C-alpha cells in the first residue's frame, strides 16, 4: 500500500467535501493517508504518516514559528529539503522558503502528494521541485483557479501551465475545467475528469416535498460563499422582480464571505430586508435541513466548476435554477432536470423563478428528475471507482 499526503487549505470546511471522500476511499483501500493542512484546521501537530499535520501558509505570521518547530521535530526532512533547495535555488530567501514548505511533505515520505487546489500547487511550486524523483503528484482543479484567475491575471495561466505540466495527473471536476487546463498546454492524457458526487442516502428527504403554492409564501434558498463570483446580487435583483410581480417569495442565504455587507445593503436598497434571511455559515446537517425545508434552489454564479450545493439540492428533490457556467450545464439539463439561465441576467433569472412558482407541477417534476439524474453519473460509487482507477494507474 502507498503513503499518500493530501494537501488542503482546511479539512473542516464545506469546500473540502471531495477531500473528505478521497481520504475515506484511500483509507478504506489500506493506504496511509496524511492530512497536510496549510491553515491548520483539524490537526494534531504530528508528522508521521497517517496523522494530521500542518504548516501555515508562507505569508502567515505563524509560519516562521511553525517552521522552526518542524525543523526541530523532523530534522532529517528539514536538512534534506534545505540541501536540495540550496542546490536548486542557491543560498537565497527563495531556497529557505521552498525548503520550509517542502519539509512537511518530505517528513511524510509520500509515494503520492495530492494537492486539492491548483492555487495551492502554485504556492508550493518551488517546494514540489524538492520532492523525491519517484514521488507522484496529483493536482485537483476545481474551477475558479482555472476559469477565473487566469482571466483576471493572465500571467497566472503561464505559471499554472508550468506547474500542472510537471504533475503526473490533473484531476478536473468538469469537462469545462478540463478544457481550460488543456488550453494551458497540459497533455490531455494526464487529465482525469472526476465530478463531485452526492451521498443520496444522506441527502434523502425525511418528509415529502411541499409543492410551491403561488398563493402562499414561497421558500427559496441559495448556498455558497458570499463572494463576487457567486453573484448573489443577481439573485436578489431577480427576487425583487418576482416580488414585484405579486409573489410572496422569501430567500434564505447560507454562507459567509467578503460580500456579506454589500449584499445586506443591496437587499435593503431593493426593499428586501424582511424577505431575505442571511443565515451565515451552518453545520452540514443544518444545511441539509434548510435545503429540505425549501421549495426552490437558486445559484446565480458567474463561474462554477461543479456546485456541490446544487447537486445536494437536486438529491433532495428541489427544483433548481442555475447559471450556465463552467460544469453546470454538464450536470443539469435545461427544462429537464432544472433550469439553466445566462449569468449576470436578473431578468432571465426572474423569468425562470416565475415559471417555477406558476407551474408547481412542472417544478416538482424537474425536482424528481434532478434526483433521478444523479444516479446516472454522480453517485459515490462512480466517484470512488474513478478515484481508484486514477490512483491505480499511478501506483
For residue range 186-231, list pLDDT tens digits in order.
999 999 999 999 989 989 999 999 999 988 999 999 999 999 999 9
Q: Do 365 and 384 lie in a common domain?
A: no
Q: Do 254 and 154 lie in a common domain?
A: no
Does the pLDDT of residue 292 top 80, yes or no?
A: yes
What pTM does this model have? Answer: 0.88
Q: Do 105 and 226 lie in a common domain?
A: no
For residue range 230-275, list pLDDT tens digits in order.
999 999 999 999 999 999 999 999 999 999 999 999 999 999 999 9
Q: How many residues does the chain have?
A: 395
Q: pLDDT at position 256, please?
A: 96
Rounded to an integer, what distance in angstroms lies between the CA atom of residue 215 and that of residue 246?
9
Q: pLDDT at position 22, please?
A: 86
Mean pLDDT calculated for residue range 71-90: 85
For residue range 318-368, list pLDDT tens digits in order.
999 999 999 999 999 999 999 999 999 999 999 999 999 999 999 999 999
Q: Do 102 and 189 lie in a common domain?
A: yes
Residue 208 covered by a domain: no
Residue 202 covered by a domain: no
Does the pLDDT of residue 53 top 80, yes or no?
A: no
Residue 32 covered by a domain: yes
Q: pLDDT at position 34, please?
A: 84
Residue 209 covered by a domain: no
Q: Do 59 and 183 lie in a common domain?
A: yes
Residue 49 covered by a domain: yes
Q: How many of the other CB atoms lie within 10 Å of CB of 246?
A: 7
Q: What is the span of the domain harbouring residue 90? A: 3-197+379-394
- Cβ neighbors of 123 (< 8 A, separation 6 or more) are 57, 58, 101
Q: Do 366 and 383 lie in a common domain?
A: no
Mean pLDDT calculated for residue range 285-294: 96
Number of domains in the chain: 2
Q: Do 302 and 357 lie in a common domain?
A: yes
SS3 (DSSP) at 4: strand
| Residues 115 and 94: beta-carbon distance below 8 Å | no
Q: Do 61 and 151 lie in a common domain?
A: yes
Q: Do 121 and 241 lie in a common domain?
A: no
For residue range 127-186, list pLDDT tens digits in order.
999 999 999 999 999 999 999 999 999 888 899 999 999 999 999 999 999 999 999 999
**Angle, vertex CA 37, rays to CA 31 and CA 41, nearest 5:** 115
Which CATH number do you get for residue 157?
A: 3.40.50.2000
Q: pLDDT at position 103, please?
A: 86
Q: Do 278 and 174 lie in a common domain?
A: no
Q: Do 140 and 181 lie in a common domain?
A: yes
Q: pLDDT at position 324, please?
A: 98
Q: pLDDT at position 297, please?
A: 98
Q: Do 140 and 56 lie in a common domain?
A: yes
DSSP H helical ranges for the chain: 17-28, 63-73, 75-89, 93-107, 118-123, 125-128, 144-147, 149-152, 154-164, 175-183, 232-244, 260-269, 284-292, 308-315, 328-331, 346-358, 360-374, 380-394
Band the pLDDT of 47: cuts 50, 70, 90. Answer: very low
Does the pLDDT of residue 21 top 50, yes or no?
A: yes
- Looking at beta carbons, which pairs linking 162-165 to residues 24 or more positions away fall under 8 Å? 162/125, 163/118, 163/121, 163/122, 163/125, 163/128, 163/139, 164/118, 164/121, 164/139
Q: pLDDT at position 62, please?
A: 64
Amino acid at each position: 500500500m502507498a503513503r499518500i499526503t493530501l494537501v488542503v487549505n482546511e479539512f473542516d470546511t464545506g469546500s473540502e467535501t471531495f477531500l473528505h471522500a478521497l481520504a475515506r476511499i484511500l483509507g478504506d483501500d489500506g493506504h496511509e493517508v496524511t492530512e497536510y493542512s496549510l491553515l491548520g484546521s483539524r490537526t494534531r501537530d504530528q508528522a508521521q504518516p497517517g496523522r494530521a499535520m500542518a504548516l501555515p501558509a508562507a505569508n502567515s505570521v505563524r509560519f516562521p514559528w511553525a517552521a522552526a518547530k518542524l525543523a526541530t521535530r523532523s530534522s532529517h526532512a528539514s536538512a534534506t529539503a534545505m540541501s536540495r533547495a540550496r542546490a536548486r535555488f542557491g543560498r537565497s530567501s527563495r531556497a529557505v522558503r521552498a525548503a520550509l514548505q517542502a519539509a512537511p511533505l518530505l517528513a511524510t515520505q509520500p509515494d503520492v502528494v495530492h494537492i486539492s487546489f491548483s492555487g495551492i500547487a502554485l504556492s508550493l511550486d518551488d517546494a514540489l521541485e524538492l520532492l523525491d524523483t519517484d514521488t507522484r503528484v496529483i493536482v485537483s482543479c476545481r474551477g475558479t483557479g482555472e476559469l477565473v484567475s487566469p482571466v483576471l491575471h493572465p500571467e497566472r495561466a503561464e505559471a499554472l501551465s508550468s506547474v500542472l505540466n510537471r504533475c503526473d495527473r490533473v484531476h478536473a471536476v468538469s469537462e469545462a475545467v478540463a478544457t481550460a487546463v488543456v488550453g494551458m498546454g497540459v497533455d490531455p492524457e494526464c487529465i482525469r475528469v472526476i465530478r463531485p458526487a452526492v451521498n443520496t442516502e444522506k441527502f434523502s428527504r425525511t418528509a415529502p416535498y411541499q409543492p410551491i403554492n403561488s398563493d402562499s409564501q414561497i421558500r427559496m434558498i441559495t448556498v455558497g460563499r458570499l463572494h463576487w463570483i457567486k453573484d448573489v446580487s443577481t439573485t436578489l435583483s431577480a427576487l425583487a422582480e418576482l416580488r414585484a410581480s405579486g409573489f410572496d417569495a422569501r430567500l434564505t442565504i447560507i454562507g459567509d464571505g467578503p460580500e456579506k455587507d454589500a449584499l445586506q445593503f443591496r437587499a435593503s436598497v431593493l426593499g428586501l430586508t424582511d424577505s431575505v434571511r442571511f443565515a451565515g455559515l451552518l453545520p452540514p446537517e443544518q444545511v441539509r435541513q434548510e435545503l429540505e425545508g425549501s421549495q426552490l434552489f437558486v445559484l446565480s454564479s458567474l463561474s462554477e466548476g461543479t456546485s456541490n450545493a446544487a447537486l445536494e439540492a437536486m438529491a433532495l428533490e428541489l427544483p433548481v435554477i442555475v447559471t450556465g457556467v463552467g460544469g453546470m450545464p454538464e450536470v443539469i439539463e435545461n427544462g429537464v432536470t432544472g433550469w439553466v439561465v445566462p449569468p449576470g441576467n436578473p431578468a432571465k433569472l426572474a423569468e425562470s423563478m416565475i415559471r417555477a412558482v406558476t407551474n408547481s407541477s412542472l417544478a416538482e417534476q424537474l425536482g424528481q428528475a434532478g434526483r433521478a439524474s444523479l444516479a446516472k453519473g454522480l453517485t459515490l460509487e462512480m466517484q470512488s471507482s474513478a478515484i481508484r482507477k486514477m490512483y491505480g494507474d499511478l501506483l
